[in-house]
Amino acid sequence: MEVENSTQYAPNYRCEEDRSDEVGRMKMELFADVVPKTAENFRQFCTGEFRKDGVPIGYKGCTFHRVIKDFMIQGGDFVNGDGTGVCSIYRGPFTDENFKLKHSAPGLLSMANSGPGTNGCQFFITCTKCDWLDGKHVVFGKIVDGLLVMRKIENVPTGPNNKPKLPIVIAQCGEM
């Protein structure tokens, strides 16, 4: 995939078993030249720029609520924390920008949704090629450093509804 963008984001993830057992950092590159609206939504939630009633909201402190080995890891629901929350910098769900980029490899960032035009704050990271998602979910970035961290999260034990048995928390996030 030949998509260039110089802005990178590096959330730190930790697995809270004892107090803070840090898993590591993933650096992400956003494809703002292909999907600018989707990339900007993610960027503002990473930096905390977006504010609701004057209070910054975003991914810091948010968890990965769904982990499916050999498929994907999903997070970003800072509204409810369980995959039901929707929030965007556009004040509500927003439409699928385009489907030019494909789910062709592990480490791609894509919007989680509940159907066409329902993008919000939730995202997932592919753990393998997922071509059956093409045309349904917008790919907007990729991991450029930290695939091993993704693999560690992918292998966390899960319970009902693919919920990790240990909280996987985005401890820090921002723009590099």
Query: Model's pTM, two decimal places?
Result: 0.89
Q: Quick check: is 37 in a domain?
A: yes
Pairing of strands 123-126, 12-15: unpaired
The Cα 147–Cα 25 span in angstroms is: 9
The answer to whether residue 155 scores a pLDDT higher than 80 is: yes
Q: Quick check: is 144 in a domain?
A: yes
User: Can 8 be counted among the known catalytic residues?
Assistant: no
The count of structural domains within the chain is 1
The answer to whether residue 79 scores a pLDDT higher than 50 is: yes
For the stretch 121-146, pLDDT in tens is 999 999 999 999 999 999 999 999 99
For the stretch 87-120, pLDDT in tens is 999 989 999 999 999 999 999 999 999 999 999 9
pLDDT confidence band for 43 (50 / 70 / 90):
very high
Which of the 8 DSSP states describes residue 48? T
List the CATH number of the domain containing 116: 2.40.100.10
The answer to whether residue 14 scores a pLDDT higher than 60 is: no
Q: Quick check: is 40 in a domain?
A: yes
Measure CA of the first residue to CA of the last residue in the chain; give whole Å. 22
**Cα-flanking dihedrals φ and ψ of residue 44, to 5°?**
-65, -30
The Cα 68–Cα 153 span in angstroms is: 10
- Residue corresponding to tokens 């090629």: 129
User: Can 71 be counted among the known catalytic residues?
Assistant: yes
Residue 11, pLDDT score = 53
User: Which listed residue (14, 65, 66, 103) is catalytic?
Assistant: 66
User: Which listed residue (64, 94, 124, 140) is catalytic?
Assistant: 124
Q: Quick check: is 1 in a domain?
A: no
User: Can 66 be counted among the known catalytic residues?
Assistant: yes
User: Which listed residue (113, 119, 122, 140) is catalytic?
Assistant: 113
**Cα-flanking dihedrals φ and ψ of residue 163, to 5°?**
-80, 130
User: Which listed residue (44, 74, 119, 122) is catalytic?
Assistant: 74
Q: Quick check: is 3 in a domain?
A: no
User: Which listed residue (101, 108, 109, 133) is catalytic?
Assistant: 133
User: Can 30 be counted among the known catalytic residues?
Assistant: no
Q: Length of the chain, please? A: 176
Expressed as residue numbers, the domain containing 99 is: 8-172
Q: Quick check: is 2 in a domain?
A: no
